[in-house]
Amino acid sequence: MGSFPTSLLSTFLRPNSIPFQHQPPRRPLAPPTSLPQPSACRVFSTRIEENQPTVTTTRRPKRKWLKKLISSTRKHRSKSVKEDQPLPSMIFKVFDDIIINFIDPPLRVSVDPKYVLSHNFSPVNELPPTECEMIEGTLPSCLDGAYFRNGPNPQYLPRGPYHLFDGDGMLHAIRISKGKATFCSRYVKTYKYQTEKDAGSPIFPNVFSGFNGMTASIARLAVSTGRILMGQFDPTKGIGVANTSIAYFGNKLYALGESDLPYAIKLATNGDIITIGRDDFDGKLLTNMTAHPKIDPVTKETFAFRYGPGPPFLTFFWFNENGKKQDDVPIFSVISPSFIHDFAITKNYAIFPENQIEMSLTGLIGGGSPVRADPRKVARLGVIPRYDKDDSEMKWFEVPGLNVVHCINAWEEDHGDTIVMVAPNILSVEHALERMDLIHASVEKVTMDLKSGMVSRYPLSIRNLDFAVINPAFIAVKNRYIYCGVGDPMPKISGVVKLDISLSEVDRHECIVASRMFGRGCFGGEPFFVAKEPKNPYADEDDGYIVSYVHNEITGDSRFVVMDAKSPTLEIVAAVKLPHRVPYGFHGLFVRENDLTTL
Ligand SMILES: [Fe+2]
């Protein structure tokens, strides 16, 4: 998902600073229907250590807060701080304890690790390439390559505030060749990950979860500044976690998170995932980049953007087919920092959704989060010619109530005078970051008349749908089919549905034409469409397979499933048992073998 780069102040340090030691649940987990209740909440990946009893020799009773601080510090020292650890590191950890215990404890469910990391959201250890067992059907021959899925997997147990978007990125890849599968899970070796691994504790500011009032923010900024001055980390080398998505462009494969530069990745011949490093594209990409670049399947050009807290709040750019970055195009017509996570392209345009979620110091001063929905703001869509050098030709369309976070596709009609976009619209945007379990997203078709400025829109389905994909060959051109995850709640996905957009053109009714629910206690992630014949221009748009990881919360098993995209039941044609659990995550990609070999 996303992050505001200024959200640097949050830091969470656990006293024992021990990486997760992941253990399977001892008993089956009941399938949660919403946010888990505290009694049912199990962070089953955490190694529990026995605390040494604290002996107090002071005769006079201490104040409660002082007792807590002393106790916390003693536990901290007894469990994690090495005797030879530098004094500044110990001091910073004590400050962290003070912030976590007395200024900003993780009180909200959206940042409480007990909730956020419960059940199959808890992280797993890395897994080297491991051969998989086929448990159903056979893998189609067109699945010759590897499916990757990215997601948050914190290296250390967060003791302070932790949002789902904050975890270190871990890639889960299943390499398929001649019907056999090998699975591997590896962290993206970001600068943050490697620095904290070397330090033996989390030291970076958290990007998403820590801002809850001015006092906590100032305190965390002070600690982070101290750490930077003492050389514990260098923010110019990146603060991102690369946990959101993965993209192949310019003959390279990248793990992406929108608060940092892309991290180049490759897959070894044995199926191992290797981080090559942070890529600044010959010095032309200085700061962060979206996790949702768009690759034009015809021109092979890649379009991207970044957003941030300071002007220009939005910047557009693109890469040629060889991955060479072109000049930035600042979008000065965006006048406030907005949460622009995704966008769409057509043959000639790029479309940016500016929703009601933005960053405001008002929220921070008022004691809350600076990232929140502003009910007074009117959502709008911006259309800019995709090769323009500035935003002078950009047109904005006000669309009240259209809060788009993910875009599915867009295209041109009427000889380029009309833009059509399909995207999930978050109906209850006030819950967007705080209570994702309460979000309902309705996939809509939005039409913009570039001449008259008229906008029309209507839903394609009443279901709660997001994490949608199409046949990648149809990006930027008119397409018919969409494959959506059914939120239960997002990002847990209880099934996949197939929408036929063409039905909306004759009668505005439900467009779902095929469905596959995973069953009781089973939840998947974002689906991905793999064409049977990617080089056949006459192949049907839906002639291919939908793939996804699915986890069974009752048995604890995870599997890779392959569904027939043409089947009205999205019939499962193959299933592979995975050698370990795959936590719920974000976005994925199938990379064909001939592309893997170029990395
Ligand atoms: Fe996303």
DSSP one-letter string for 489-541 = STT-EEEEEEEETTHHHH--S--EEEEEE--TTEEE---EEEESSTT-TTS-T
Please spell the DSSP secondary structure of 186-226, one letter per residue: EE---HHHHHHHHHTS--SPBSSS--SSHHHHHHHHHHHHH
- pLDDT in the model for residue 69: 32
Question: What separation in Å is there between the alpha carbon of 590 and the centre of ligand 1?
Answer: 16
For residue 92 the two structure tokens come to 């910073």
Question: What separation in Å is there between the alpha carbon of 102 and the centre of ligand 1?
Answer: 34
Q: Which of 302, 308, 266 is nearest to 286 (CA)?
A: 308
Give the H or E element holding residue 229. Answer: helix 214-229
- pLDDT in the model for residue 363: 67
Give the H or E element holding residue 547. Answer: strand 544-552
Binned average pLDDT, 10 residues per bin, the chain of 599 residues: 34 35 37 34 33 33 40 38 64 88 83 92 97 97 97 93 94 96 98 94 81 82 92 94 98 97 97 98 96 98 95 97 98 94 98 91 68 90 98 97 97 97 92 80 97 96 96 98 94 95 86 97 96 96 98 97 98 98 97 94
**What is the spatial distance between Cα 10 and Cα 13, in angstroms, rounded to a whole number?**
10
- How distant, in Å, are the alpha carbons of 138, 388, 538, 597 from that of 532? 15, 36, 12, 20
Which burial class, exposed, middle or buried, applies to 454 when counting CB atoms under 10 A from its CB (0-12, 13-18, 19+)?
Answer: exposed
Distance of CA 117 to the CA centre of its chain: 15
Q: Which residues contact 271 (CB under 8 A, 6 or more apart)?
A: 129, 146, 173, 175, 182, 183, 184
Write the single-letter amino acid at 166: D
Question: What separation in Å is there between the alpha carbon of 245 and the centre of ligand 1?
Answer: 7
Instruction: Compute how many other C-beta atoms are within 10 angstroms of the C-beta atom of residue 578.
Output: 23
The answer to whether the annotation marks 341 as part of a ligand binding site is yes
Question: What separation in Å is there between the alpha carbon of 406 and the centre of ligand 1?
Answer: 6
For residue 106 the two structure tokens come to 């993780």
**What is the spatial distance between Cα 360 and Cα 509, in angstroms, rounded to a whole number?**
39
- How distant, in Å, are the alpha carbons of 19, 31, 205, 242, 342 from that of 255? 22, 31, 20, 6, 16
Question: What separation in Å is there between the alpha carbon of 53 and the centre of ligand 1?
Answer: 45
Question: What separation in Å is there between the alpha carbon of 560 and the centre of ligand 1?
Answer: 21
Question: What separation in Å is there between the alpha carbon of 586 and the centre of ligand 1?
Answer: 7
Question: What separation in Å is there between the alpha carbon of 257 and the centre of ligand 1?
Answer: 9
The answer to whether the annotation marks 292 as part of a ligand binding site is yes
- pLDDT in the model for residue 15: 33
Question: What separation in Å is there between the alpha carbon of 193 and the centre of ligand 1?
Answer: 21
Question: What separation in Å is there between the alpha carbon of 386 and the centre of ligand 1?
Answer: 21
The answer to whether the annotation marks 163 as part of a ligand binding site is no
- pLDDT in the model for residue 354: 97
Question: What separation in Å is there between the alpha carbon of 467 and the centre of ligand 1?
Answer: 8
Measured CA angle at 451 (ends 449, 453), to 5 deg = 55
Question: What separation in Å is there between the alpha carbon of 222 and the centre of ligand 1?
Answer: 31
Question: What separation in Å is there between the alpha carbon of 341 and the centre of ligand 1?
Answer: 7
Question: What separation in Å is there between the alpha carbon of 64 and the centre of ligand 1?
Answer: 44
Question: What separation in Å is there between the alpha carbon of 414 and the centre of ligand 1?
Answer: 30
Question: What separation in Å is there between the alpha carbon of 136 and the centre of ligand 1?
Answer: 30
Question: What separation in Å is there between the alpha carbon of 248 and the centre of ligand 1?
Answer: 16
Question: What separation in Å is there between the alpha carbon of 425 and the centre of ligand 1?
Answer: 14
Q: Which of 284, 292, 306, 189 is nearest to 249 (CA)?
A: 292
- pLDDT in the model for residue 234: 95
The answer to whether the annotation marks 406 as part of a ligand binding site is yes
Distance of CA 391 to the CA centre of its chain: 28
Question: What separation in Å is there between the alpha carbon of 307 and the centre of ligand 1?
Answer: 14
**What is the spatial distance between Cα 491 and Cα 245, in angstroms, rounded to a whole number?**
14
Question: What separation in Å is there between the alpha carbon of 302 and the centre of ligand 1?
Answer: 17
Q: Which of 277, 279, 281 is nearest to 327 (CA)?
A: 281
Question: What separation in Å is there between the alpha carbon of 166 and the centre of ligand 1?
Answer: 14
CB 238 within 8 A of CB 260: yes
Question: What separation in Å is there between the alpha carbon of 292 and the centre of ligand 1?
Answer: 7
Question: What separation in Å is there between the alpha carbon of 306 and the centre of ligand 1?
Answer: 14
Question: What separation in Å is there between the alpha carbon of 2 and the centre of ligand 1?
Answer: 7
- pLDDT in the model for residue 277: 97
Question: What separation in Å is there between the alpha carbon of 426 and the centre of ligand 1?
Answer: 13
Q: Which residues contact 356 (CB under 8 A, 6 or more apart)?
A: 373, 374, 375, 377, 378, 379, 403, 429
Q: Which residues contact 389 (CB under 8 A, 6 or more apart)?
A: 327, 329
In the block, tokens 């279901």 appear at: 463
Count helices and strands (H / E) in the chain: 8, 33
3-class DSSP state of 431? helix
Quick one: three-class SS letters along 91-149? HHHHHHHHHHHHHCCCCCHHHCHHHHCCHHHCCCCCEEEEECEEEEECCCCCCCEEEEE
For residue 80 the two structure tokens come to 């994690």
- pLDDT in the model for residue 367: 64
Question: What separation in Å is there between the alpha carbon of 435 and the centre of ligand 1?
Answer: 17
Question: What separation in Å is there between the alpha carbon of 558 and the centre of ligand 1?
Answer: 22
Task: Say how many CA atoms lie within 13 Å of 422 toward its Cβ.
Answer: 30
Question: What separation in Å is there between the alpha carbon of 357 and the centre of ligand 1?
Answer: 15
3-class DSSP state of 414? helix
- pLDDT in the model for residue 191: 98
Question: What separation in Å is there between the alpha carbon of 360 and the centre of ligand 1?
Answer: 22
- pLDDT in the model for residue 84: 55
Question: What separation in Å is there between the alpha carbon of 41 and the centre of ligand 1?
Answer: 26
Write the single-letter amino acid at 481: Y
- pLDDT in the model for residue 497: 98
User: What's the chain's length in residues?
Assistant: 599
